[in-house]
Amino acid sequence: MTPSRWSDLDRPPLNEAALRRAVVGSPLWTSLDVVQDTGSTNSDLAARAAGGAAEGAVLVAEQQTAGRGRLDRRWSAPPRSGLFFSVLLRPGEPGTYGGPVPVHRWGWLPLLAGVATATALSRIAGVDTALKWPNDLLVTVDGAERKAGGILAERTGEAGVVVGIGINVTLREAELPVPTAASLALAGAAVTDRDPLLRAVLRSLAEWYDSWRAAGGDPADSRLQQTYAAGCATLGRQVRAELPGGRELSGTAVAVDGDGRLVIAGPEGEQPVGAGDVVHLRPAG
């Protein structure tokens, strides 16, 4: 017998109608759909974007069977155990504040999504959050930093970007894919109801995107660069960046520059590396 969507009462389904009423029509968000399962919300929303979907479309899945992280790494979790969703942004089109955002500033979008997600979860769920450059959301469990979420931004067409966000909400220790993973529940979150969590993240994301667009995508003028640096656990630590071709760059992570690149101070001076250049970023030693 096929399991009912109500078969796990500890993990009730999202209320699509209530989410639409709360979200659609507010700043930025133009549509919201919840599907029971799909391969990847990023892939599905990119297809909708190619068909002319408006900026502000939101696609949420109760389960992803082929969710992707950076460099096509897999992201999987039990049904209804987290928030798995993608949003369509069109920074390459004219907006409320004038012309399109220059393409060279689009690399800030996954960092913007990280700031928006971390601040929203800290506020509503009462958990300490931090960001690992470039796209991981960290929480503290038993005194250790562990990954509870990730972000993947992918360009679609000439003017659009699909930003996918995955957050582990109620995963139990035995359900974690790796020992370094975590969930909001394991971090002692005061709220694990996914409906208010999703609303809070979308509200925060709209606010940060609005400020960033109003500043023409300038990360300093929008205070995105400063806020990201304040919440980035990578800065100040000894790191080893594994680069394509087996190359490595080791040193102290000292800054995130105006292009969203991580600046590493090593024996040969300060060198910036972009997210697309790094295969892995690990603690040095």
Tell me, what's the pLDDT at 77? 82
Looking at the fold, whether 137 and 186 belong to one and the same domain comes out as yes
Tokens of 80: 């209804």
Tell me, what's the pLDDT at 5? 54
Looking at the fold, whether 266 and 155 belong to one and the same domain comes out as no
Whether the Cβ atoms of residue 88 and residue 48 lie closer than 8 Å to each other: yes
Cα-Cα end-to-end distance for the chain = 51
Looking at the fold, whether 97 and 220 belong to one and the same domain comes out as yes
Rounded to the nearest integer, the mean pLDDT of the chain is 93
Residue 155 lies in a domain: yes
Look up residue 234 and give its amino acid: T
Looking at the fold, whether 101 and 226 belong to one and the same domain comes out as yes
Q: 87: which strand partners?
A: 58, 163
Looking at the fold, whether 108 and 215 belong to one and the same domain comes out as yes
Confidence of residue 2 (pLDDT cuts 50, 70, 90): very low
Residue 217 lies in a domain: yes
Tell me, what's the pLDDT at 31? 98
Average pLDDT over residues 193-215: 98
Tokens of 52: 């002319």
Q: What is the pLDDT of residues 147-180, one digit of tens each?
A: 999 999 999 999 999 999 999 999 999 999 999 9
Q: How many domains, the chain?
A: 2
Residue 2 lies in a domain: no
Whether the Cβ atoms of residue 253 and residue 264 lie closer than 8 Å to each other: yes
Looking at the fold, whether 167 and 271 belong to one and the same domain comes out as no
Residue 140 lies in a domain: yes
For the beta carbon of residue 2, count every other beta carbon within 10 angstroms.
Answer: 5
Q: What is the pLDDT of residues 127-138, one digit of tens each?
A: 999 999 999 999
Looking at the fold, whether 62 and 124 belong to one and the same domain comes out as yes
Q: What is the pLDDT of residues 253-272, one digit of tens each?
A: 999 999 999 999 999 999 99
Whether the Cβ atoms of residue 175 and residue 31 lie closer than 8 Å to each other: no
Tell me, what's the pLDDT at 10? 83
Whether the pLDDT of residue 190 is over 70: the answer is yes
Looking at the fold, whether 218 and 127 belong to one and the same domain comes out as yes
Tell me, what's the pLDDT at 208? 98
List of residues 6+ apart from 268 with CB closer than 8 A: none
Distances in Å between the alpha carbon of 279 and those of 58, 241, 248? 29, 7, 10
More confident: 9 or 28: 28
Whether the pLDDT of residue 4 is over 70: the answer is no
Tell me, what's the pLDDT at 95? 87
Q: What is the pLDDT of residues 49-61, one digit of tens each?
A: 999 999 999 999 9
Looking at the fold, whether 259 and 185 belong to one and the same domain comes out as no
How far does CA 73 lie from the centroid of its chain?
14
Widest pairwise Cα distance in the chain:
63
Average pLDDT over residues 197-225: 98
Residue 23 lies in a domain: yes
Confidence of residue 211 (pLDDT cuts 50, 70, 90): very high
CATH label of the domain that carries residue 245: 2.30.30.100
Tell me, what's the pLDDT at 1? 40
Give the three-class secondary structure for 244: helix
Q: Which domain holds residue 244?
A: 238-283
Tell me, what's the pLDDT at 259? 96
Tell me, what's the pLDDT at 71? 47
H or E element at residue 270: strand 269-273
Residue 117 lies in a domain: yes
**pTM, 2 dp:** 0.93
Q: What is the pLDDT of residues 23-81, one digit of tens each?
A: 999 889 999 999 999 999 999 999 999 999 999 999 999 999 865 554 455 666 899 99
